[in-house]
Amino acid sequence: MSNNAQSGPLAGLTVLDFSRVIAGPFLTQILGDLGALIIKVEAPGVGDDMRHYRPAGWKKDAPGFVGLNRNKKSIEIDITTEAGQDVCRALAEKADILVENFRPDVMERYGLHYAAMAEVNPRLIYCSISGYGHTSPFKLVAGYDPIAQAESGMMYLTGPADVEPQKAGGSIGDSYTGLHAGMGILAALEARHRTGRGQFVDVSLFDSMLSALGYVAAHPQLIGEDPPRMGNKSHALVPLGVYQCSDGPIMIVVGNDRQFEKFCRDVLKRPDMLEDPRYASLATRQANREPLEATIDAIFRTNNREHWVQVMRKAGVPAGSVRSPMEAVHSDEATGRNMLVPVKFDGEMVDLVASPIRLSETPVVAPTEIPTLGAHTDLMMAEVLGYSADKIAELRAVGAFGKPKA
């Protein structure tokens, strides 16, 4: 990890970030980790909605905001005012990338949409994240991660068959969308190297979640019916699933006959099961899932998670403990890769999850302080736009940065 704020593979690039909540901030934090200058535009006096999604009793910026907004400069701009819009256009002229995740009509309402910004800066890469995309008949419908999980088929596939469909524990739709947007931006940057022109990057929550189904989306297209909802089990691989140990659950994946042989002989210490015709092949294991799983469950309950995970890894059979987030961030796997990094927040250093990207020649940059609302407004006006103190005061007086204080 580099300590040079100007290092990183995206050093020298400026990102004008109008996004808020999860998908956009997730994306721009990645770009910031990679060395880009992220100028986070926030509503005066309010800021990113995510600042306020606090757990009960928490008085500071919400953990969700803290986890998505390192390596950014926060500025307050009132985009509903003519003066604020002028500042946004001036910043866009200096920027390489613009990211926003409003409904498609919002930026157009204020003259900050792609066509207007491309006139100001033809090299600008303008990324718009929305619920359904700019060409969708539903483009004006607001997008939310749980709705995208529901409408894309992801919820239908998640959870046991005998209960209602389940959403994922985290905002995976927002995360997938942010990653897809990032890929689109990097592709547009590479194209700009050849053409000298920017372009519009249109990414939606629904499209990203549909894409996230991966190979599962091919099932109804080829078979003509939906795959069954299996919860923690698999309709194809047996055994695969969660089993209870003496101190908690583990997840196992026995992916083929060779692994099943190791599993019976070296893990369960039941080589006799290899002679049982019910378990002779994947097809027969699928047909005899219940007695096989009952045997595994009884054996696993005799010892703890750490024991079984170590035994299975030694045997070459995939397994891992089912952890809480607290357990995961303090696990040997996380600490062994330095996946916690100290970040300054509210005057104190806190350990947050680091970038998972490892680059040998141009490493990610060391994290900067989580920005307080509007902390860098004057600095960015001076450093990026070259505005004098008098010019900044004039803009403040006319409400570009929010309602002037009496």
Residue with tokens 């015709």: 277
| Residue 19: closest CA among 89, 106, 90, 110 | 106
- Give the pairing of strands 73-76 and 97-100: unpaired
Cα angle value 389/87/10 (rounded, 5°): 95
Q: What is the length of the chain?
A: 406
Other C-beta atoms closer than 10 Å to the C-beta of 249 total 15
What is the amino acid identity at position 351? D
End-to-end CA separation in angstroms for the chain: 45
Is residue 346 flagged as an active site residue? no
Q: Do 298 and 291 meet the contact criterion of CB atoms below 8 Å apart?
A: no
The active-site residue out of 145, 174, 202, 207 is 174
Other C-beta atoms closer than 10 Å to the C-beta of 269 total 10
CA–CA distance, 104 with 309 (Å, rounded to integer)? 49
Cα 44 versus chain centre, distance? 26
Other C-beta atoms closer than 10 Å to the C-beta of 394 total 13
In a 3-state reduction of DSSP, which class is residue 100? strand
Other C-beta atoms closer than 10 Å to the C-beta of 186 total 17
In a 3-state reduction of DSSP, which class is residue 14? strand
Helix axes of 172-195 and 205-212: crossing angle, nearest 10 degrees? 100
H-only helix segments in 196-329: 205-212, 218-223, 257-262, 282-287, 289-300, 305-315, 325-329
Q: Do 402 and 78 meet the contact criterion of CB atoms below 8 Å apart?
A: yes
Number of H helices, E strands in the chain: 18, 11
Q: Which residues contact 331 (CB under 8 A, 6 or more apart)?
A: 323
What tokens appear for 353 in the block?
A: 């999850």
What tokens appear for 98 in the block?
A: 């613009």
Q: Which of the residues are catalytic? A: 174
